[in-house]
Amino acid sequence: MNHLATPSTSSTDYDPVSVTIFAKALENIAQEMAAVVVRSSGSPVIAEAVDFAICLLDAEGEVISYGGYIVSYIGTARRAVRHLLDTVPAERIRPGDAFICNDPFTTGSAHTVDVAIVRPVFVDDEIVAWCWAFAHLFDFGGVAAGGFAPMATEAYAEGLRLPGVKIVDQGVVVDDVWRLITTNIRVSQLVLNDIRCLIACCNRGNDRLLDLVSEHGLDTFHRYSVTSRDLVEQAARERIRALPDGTYSVDEYVEHSGHQPQLLNIHCDVVVADDEITMDFSRSAPQSDGFVNCAAAVTTGFAVTPLFVSLFCDLPINEGALRPITVITAPGTICDVTLPAPVSSGHMETGLKIGKLVSGLLADLQARSEDPFVQAHIMAPWHDSFSGSIFYAPDEHGTLTPFFDMNGGGAGGGAQAIAEGMDVGGCLSQTMNTIPDIEINESDYPVLYLWRKLNRNSGGLGLMRGGDGIELAWTPHYTTGGSQNVFTACTEVPPAGVFGGYPGSASGFRLVRNTGIWNGFAQGDVPRGLDDLQGEVVELDAKQFGLALAPEDVLQMHVGGGSGYGDPLARTPAAVASDVRAGIISEKMAREGYGVVLTAGDPDASATDALRAELLSGRTEWEQERLPDDGVLGGRRLAVRRSVASSRLATFDQWVHHNPLVHLVEYADPDSGELLRTELVVDRQQHVVPQGSAE
Amino acid sequence: MEYQIGCDIGGTFTDVVAVDAEGRVYSDKADTTVEDLCVGVVAALQNLALRVGTSLEELLGNTNRFVNGTTSVTNSIAELKGARVGLVTTAGFGDNLLIARSARNRHRDHNLQVNLPQIVPRELVVEVPERIDRKGAVVLALTEEAARKAVDQLINSGVEAIAVSFLWSFRNPGHEELVAEIVQREHPDVFLSVGSRLHPKIREYERTMTAVLNAFTGIRVAEYTSRIESELATRGLRVTPVFMQGFGGTLSPAAARQRPIALVDSGPAAGVIGAQALARRLGIEHMVTADMGGTSFDVSMVRDAETLVVERVLLREQFLTAVPKIDVLPIGAGGGSVAWLDARGTPQVGPQSAGAQPGPACYGRGGTTPTVTDASVALGLLDPGAFLSGRRELDAAAARQALQSTFGPSLGLSPEQAAAAVYRLVTANMSNGVRAVTVERGQDPRQFSMLAYGGAVGVFATDIARSIGIRRVVLPPDAAVFSAHGLIASDDVRTLASSVNWSGGDAAETIQVLRHLDEQVVGMLREVGHPESRISVQWQGDFKFAGQQWELRVPIPRRPDLDVADLLAIQSDFASLYEAEYGPGTAWVGSPVLLGSVRVVATGAVDSFAPAQVAVEPFDVTPDHTRTVFLPLEGAKTDVAVYVSGQLTPGARIVGPAIVEQDLTTVQVGRCWQLDVDGWGNFVMTDTDDGSSPPPELQREMALIGARGELS
């Protein structure tokens, strides 16, 4: 059990202006700490992908301010401080100390390259607060460079684990720990540099917190700190109270363990009761012997992320927002890993799927709220998957540098009540996601891109369209060729849309060998898609490693789109026509998915009306089913269509990897034909949940 | 008598300042006329001529320099009103602007995470078969036929402007030039914008966005500059007006028409350039500039007497462009900023603004939501009868009513207490802005003075400064029109940059690029009449450690015999330069040092008329009257000395708390601040608090106890 809630003390009398200014001062401290990291690191992972976070916690480990570029690591921050409090004797924690934490099993890191420094803040002999600063570093040892180890069957292969080890002792760096790290990791110079940045960052946090304490006095500091959490808690409870009470069950699926394709069930039982939410993941699949498992703290982080960007998006992030939420996990499952199972991609696999599961449910609940703020923030799930592509090849000087293509962060965003989904939005939790310039990648690595565009038709159908993912292809250039790894987490089970919106296309890779592309260039031919290339197109497995890539070979990455919002037959024909003219969707999708017929690029009004009427009446002829009383559509009799997802989506000109067990279920009003809901369902009669061999 | 005139067109007012050859300064303003900016300019100049005591024709006829800062480009982008633009780009990459490097932003609220508006509709993006690689080698040759077909397609779609931007064009501009020549030859009336001409540097997204926005704003700017030239000429101006750029320095109308995007945000830049001139005059090295108007508080800094110029700029918080621009941080805190209660029930101020219509409640134009100005009125800091020299009567009762109805019911605050809350919050927001540009960039604000200007800043300046440890505030005599004055101080500047690729070894090509840029920019200045002797040129290089994101700008000696040894010397010093900027231990020791781009900046010195200085002898001044003010940080009513316009002449010295009512602005002098009027008429305010009185937050806390005692 991992309860987030500790009962709050009722806030005493307070001056709201002083508390507001105080809360801003705390945010400033987190911001200033972040500036220290960004300015002094220079690492592209930190500066461009902003893969780091800052947290201030009180003496007991409650979050008082979170400077999150990546919101989902809040669970990790709390876990790390909790672990230090529980395991390090109080007399061994002294002013000027700092601890290094990256162990998924004790300090809640997602994987070993996510390294945090934790520093206690002392006033005289008393700990008054903690600073926590984390960043994704280049490497932390283990069998795979860079921290993602699909080949691992145990965590022991995934790098050096440090469960809160003192790295600075009363202001002096502990040389033995430094030497231990240096000995066990790759590119140690760069990694140690970033660790120094994190220490400097926590030092700055310490100084600023002490300034704040001396400005206010310790009692006032505590009082304001408690009050600002209580105020956030009250507001968070108000927002939850706006959601309908009820009990819901939601499922998602991890698709591939790293060793083999297999569907691993994430099951969540949700209870919304008055002003509290409980999310119970304990009936999820047993942990796997592949790298997809999550630490409980990471599960917590991903479960609360959709709330932070939606229901609570205007509230500061602190413990108060977490109090009304309870996350329950069972040790030994993919959502609460125990040794020795591996974890190095757990956040990218199980974690992101948890986020999508909560996003989808939240949208359903928000829709039944009267609160205009809650209504305006309804959003379909994002595609929320990062496509990993690593090419390792010598350039023309023989220099070998691994090329990690950050275009993999090009997944589509979910459609919103107020807007289309964001194209190329990346993952929901990464608010500052960026995609590289083609020229930067080509200048640093031996590749030539043939195209990079929006992945046509990838956004889910809907009244509001899901955001498109990215699609690109490149060929080795200025190299004799090299080795290629690909890994993606969402090829078979994209998240469903909301209120009759559809899922988007899924993500994958394709390889074409011996394309004859240079002959084509010489003759003035431009390939505009895989169809223009010679050679057979091979669809790659969701995770494939060590592919040999030669000049003239072409690798295509196609990243999935976000889910749609609302019945696509309600989308205005003009908007559909505009998307067709822009080349974002095909005429086939316009016709089959949106029921819009175009003549010379413009909607043909009468043909469109006729086609839409036909599609609507077709839906009323679907087989009728009475739905169970619990659940979002509670007990209604609806027209239901069940089909294999890959085949059904192909009729709209979309793609997901074919798996006959994955079904798309569409629910329509049996009288009007209005589409009310879509779901992705795995045929569990056919599907045997594999047992993790790590147990 | 000869004059120089600065004219700053802002969102609400058009400000004008004239300085004569003997250093006398005159200023005035008129409403900005958005539909035709020239009307407001002429109206403001007519007001100015009255101040000078002459006719408009006489004034303009004797003007030897006319500098204009215009919002034309900024407005065009803000309102997304501009030309119908077509884009010609590399086949396979036509979605570049839709992909937008991922349009994610700092907001956690997903309602604010949406796609960017498109300057070029996707149908007007034409892909042509061409490709150049990273070495500049032609992978796929562009044929003239394909180029013409693309241009014709856009022309047939009715575009008014064409942007051309190809991958790697900065390495090999041949293909872009082929398209450009067709447009120039066959469609000379279509505005043309070429990526490699505007910004020959790596990163295609911002290069393309720059070309596109340049095309988008070009026609408007061409119309505006031509109109203002002729409007002023018919009224007697004999010199060509020049236009302020966003990074400082002026451009001729012809150059502005080539590169309209350079004019973006020139208003805020002018203020900072003026601050720089003032800082030099007063011998101040480090200065925070704080400009508070009706809707925003703009902060920047002058460090070692230099402005802070950035090159990657996010315009409209959406469009990443490569326009060199003075780095100004806008905070949503102005006189019109609205005060409200958030979801937690805690009070907030801004960033929304009541704008000019309906404006603050006290303007009596139907506004009912309380604003920062309403709070100042309710506190007694602003005299309702003395606002803008009495030109606008303020309705104090309406201000109090607005505060009462928003904060009274849930917080139980009196109008004064609510006003104090608004004052404290907006001061904290502005203080955070100052913190962001200093502390978060590694600067200690205590080393800085603050130059405060803009119509609304006077009330807040000393309290903002004290909250962040700044002990000297300078408020210029023409604070309300300071940006216009800054224009006059600006030299004529041209700059060009280019990507290079040097990491050691032969540097001949890199040096050749520098010389070529040098010839170009110096040529531009000579063309507009600057003699060689008055042109100064700086060379700069952007160096970084291989694998890093950040580049550090390093001066390169401008010598005819510059050779590889000079570059190697910078390379070997780089680690220490880097650590001086980012802190000890941060250099990536062992990583190769790369030179990625070079820039040449040429400045043509201009003889600006400076304001005259008089010798001063300090003297004390007796207040005109006293007024009861609810001092917001002290939470109590106090009788405060009030000084009026004309009382504070050079040499005057007063000590706060005090209020000074100037023609266009009101100044609050905080407790323990000493105000001295210097020989130019600047208010130089110094914090004389020796630290023995309690820190401000504690004062507030103590005040609160008092306030609560009254409540309960």
Q: What secondary structure, in 3-state letters, does B68-95 show?
A: EECCHHHHHHHCCCCCCEEEEEECCCCC
Residue A7: the pLDDT is 36
Angle (CA) B571-A397-A526 rounded to 5° is: 110
CB < 8 Å to A525, chain B: 129
The closest of A363, A357, A353 to A464, measured between CA atoms, is A363
- Other Cβ atoms less than 10 A from the Cβ of A615: the count is 18
Q: Can you list the alpha helix ranges (DSSP code H) found in A328-476? A: 352-367, 372-376, 438-444
Q: Which two tokens stand for residue B192?
A: 């043309």
Q: Are strands B636-644 and B658-661 parallel, antiparallel or unpaired?
A: parallel
For residue A372, what are the CA distances in angstroms to A311, A367, A379, A417, B662? 11, 10, 14, 11, 46
Burial B628-637 (b: 16+ CB within 10 A, else e): ebbbbbbbee
Q: Which residues lie below 8 Å from residue A20, measured CB to CB, with a gap of 6+?
A: B346, B347, B348, B425
The residue that leads in pLDDT, A4 or A430, is A430
CB < 8 Å to A220, chain B: 701
User: Residues A515-547: pLDDT tens digits?
Assistant: 999 999 999 999 989 999 999 999 999 999 899
Distance from CA of B137 to the nearest CA of A (A): 12
Mark yes or no for CB contact A424/B100 under 8 Å.
Answer: yes
pTM attached to this predicted model: 0.92
Helix, strand and coil in chain B, % to nearest 5: 40, 25, 35
Which of B98, B104, B698 would best serve as a mutation to test chain A binding (most A beta carbons within 10 A)?
Answer: B104
Residue A8: the pLDDT is 40
> Chain B 465-504, CB below 8 Å of chain A: which residues?
none
Radius of gyration from C-alpha coordinates of chain A? 26
Angle (CA) B528-B194-A518 rounded to 5° is: 145
Residue B636 and residue B706 in contact, taking contact as beta carbons nearer than 8 Å = yes
Side-chain-facing half-sphere of B113: CA atoms under 13 Å: 33
* SS3 category, A177: helix
Question: Does the pLDDT of residue B10 top 70, yes or no?
Answer: yes
Question: Does the pLDDT of residue A127 top 70, yes or no?
Answer: yes
Weakest-pLDDT range from A41-45, A195-199, A347-351, A535-539: A41-45
Weakest-pLDDT range from A588-592, B107-111, B189-193, B703-707: B703-707
CB < 8 Å to B595, chain A: none
DSSP string covering A484-503: EEEE-S-SS-PPP-BTT---
User: Residues A595-634: pLDDT tens digits?
Assistant: 999 999 999 999 999 999 999 999 999 999 998 877 777 7
* Amino acid residing at A271: V
Mark yes or no for CB contact B700/A193 under 8 Å.
Answer: no
Q: Which residues, in sequence order, are bridge partners of residue A173?
A: A168
- Measured between CA atoms, the residue of chain B closest to residue A410 is B102
Question: Does the pLDDT of residue A160 top 70, yes or no?
Answer: yes
Question: Does the pLDDT of residue B696 top 80, yes or no?
Answer: no
Question: Does the pLDDT of residue A460 top 60, yes or no?
Answer: yes
Residue B709: the pLDDT is 27
For residue A170, what are the CA distances in angstroms to A107, A119, A175? 22, 11, 13
Burial (CB count <10 Å: 0-12, 13-18, 19+), residue B588: buried
CB < 8 Å to A583, chain B: 122
Q: What is the largest CA-CA distance in chain B?
A: 85
User: Residues A33-90: pLDDT tens digits?
Assistant: 998 888 777 777 777 677 899 999 999 999 999 986 788 899 999 999 999 999 999 9
Residue A107 and residue A83 in contact, taking contact as beta carbons nearer than 8 Å = yes
Residue A427 and residue A49 in contact, taking contact as beta carbons nearer than 8 Å = no
Burial (CB count <10 Å: 0-12, 13-18, 19+), residue A261: middle
CB < 8 Å to B166, chain A: none
Residue A10: the pLDDT is 40
- Measured between CA atoms, the residue of chain B closest to residue A375 is B111
User: Distance between CA atoms of B338 and B353, rounded to whole angstroms?
Assistant: 5
Residue B598: the pLDDT is 96
User: Distance between CA atoms of B139 and B650, rounded to whole angstroms?
Assistant: 70
User: Residues B457-481: pLDDT tens digits?
Assistant: 999 999 999 999 999 999 999 888 8
Residue with tokens 């993006």: B125
Pick left, alpha or beta for residue B468 (phi over 0 → left; psi -120 to 50 → alpha; otherwise beta).
alpha
Q: Which residues lie below 8 Å from residue B134, measured CB to CB, with a gap of 6+?
A: A439, A442, A443, A478, B168, B171
Mark yes or no for CB contact B698/A217 under 8 Å.
Answer: yes
Distance from CA of A661 to the nearest CA of B (A): 33
User: Distance between CA atoms of A347 and A357, rounded to whole angstroms?
Assistant: 14
Residue A35: the pLDDT is 85
The closest of B268, B310, B317 to B289, measured between CA atoms, is B268
User: Residues A656-690: pLDDT tens digits?
Assistant: 999 999 999 999 999 999 999 999 999 876 655 44
User: Residues B46-83: pLDDT tens digits?
Assistant: 999 999 999 999 999 999 999 999 888 888 898 899 99
Question: Does the pLDDT of residue B234 top 70, yes or no?
Answer: yes
Burial (CB count <10 Å: 0-12, 13-18, 19+), residue A44: buried
Residue A685: the pLDDT is 65
> Chain B 55-84, CB below 8 Å of chain A: which residues?
none
Residue A252 and residue A353 in contact, taking contact as beta carbons nearer than 8 Å = yes
User: Distance between CA atoms of B132 and B599, rounded to whole angstroms?
Assistant: 24
Residue A680 and residue A493 in contact, taking contact as beta carbons nearer than 8 Å = yes
Q: Which residues lie below 8 Å from residue A598, measured CB to CB, with a gap of 6+?
A: A577, A580, A587, A590, A604
Residue A691: the pLDDT is 44
pLDDT-above-70 percentage for chain B: 96
Q: What is the mean pLDDT of chain A?
A: 92
Angle (CA) A287-A292-A293 rounded to 5° is: 45
The closest of B450, B481, B428, B427 to B301, measured between CA atoms, is B450
DSSP string covering B348-373: EEEEEE-TTTT--GGGTSS--S-BHH
User: Distance between CA atoms of A664 and A647, rounded to whole angstroms?
Assistant: 9
Per-residue HEC secondary structure of B606-640 comes to CCCCCCCCCCCCCEECCCCEEEEEEECCCCEEEEE
Confidence band, pLDDT 50/70/90 cuts, at residue B700 = very low
Residue B635: the pLDDT is 87
User: Residues B564-612: pLDDT tens digits?
Assistant: 999 999 999 999 988 887 777 778 877 889 999 999 999 999 988 988 9
Mark yes or no for CB contact B548/A418 under 8 Å.
Answer: no
CB < 8 Å to A310, chain B: 110
Q: What is the mean pLDDT of chain B?
A: 90
How many A/B residue pairs have CB atoms within 8 Å? 246
The closest of B11, B8, B663, B631 to B392, measured between CA atoms, is B663
Residue B644 and residue B621 in contact, taking contact as beta carbons nearer than 8 Å = no
CB < 8 Å to B440, chain A: 31-32, 35
- Measured between CA atoms, the residue of chain A closest to residue B110 is A309
Q: How far is CA B451 from the centre of its chain?
A: 14
Burial B543-561 (b: 16+ CB within 10 A, else e): bbbebbbbbbebebeeeee
- Measured between CA atoms, the residue of chain B closest to residue A525 is B129
Residue A695: the pLDDT is 33
Residue A432: the pLDDT is 85
Residue A67: the pLDDT is 84
**How many helices (H) and strands (E) are present in chain B, helices listed first?**
18, 34
Mark yes or no for CB contact A44/B547 under 8 Å.
Answer: yes
pLDDT, mean of residues B192-220: 96
pLDDT, mean of residues B25-49: 91
User: Distance between CA atoms of B365 and B399, rounded to whole angstroms?
Assistant: 12
Residue A633: the pLDDT is 78
pLDDT, mean of residues B654-668: 91
User: Distance between CA atoms of A58 and A17, rounded to whole angstroms?
Assistant: 22
- Measured between CA atoms, the residue of chain B closest to residue A49 is B549
Residue B195 and residue B211 in contact, taking contact as beta carbons nearer than 8 Å = yes
Does the ipTM surpass 0.90? yes
User: Distance between CA atoms of B72 and B151, rounded to whole angstroms?
Assistant: 28
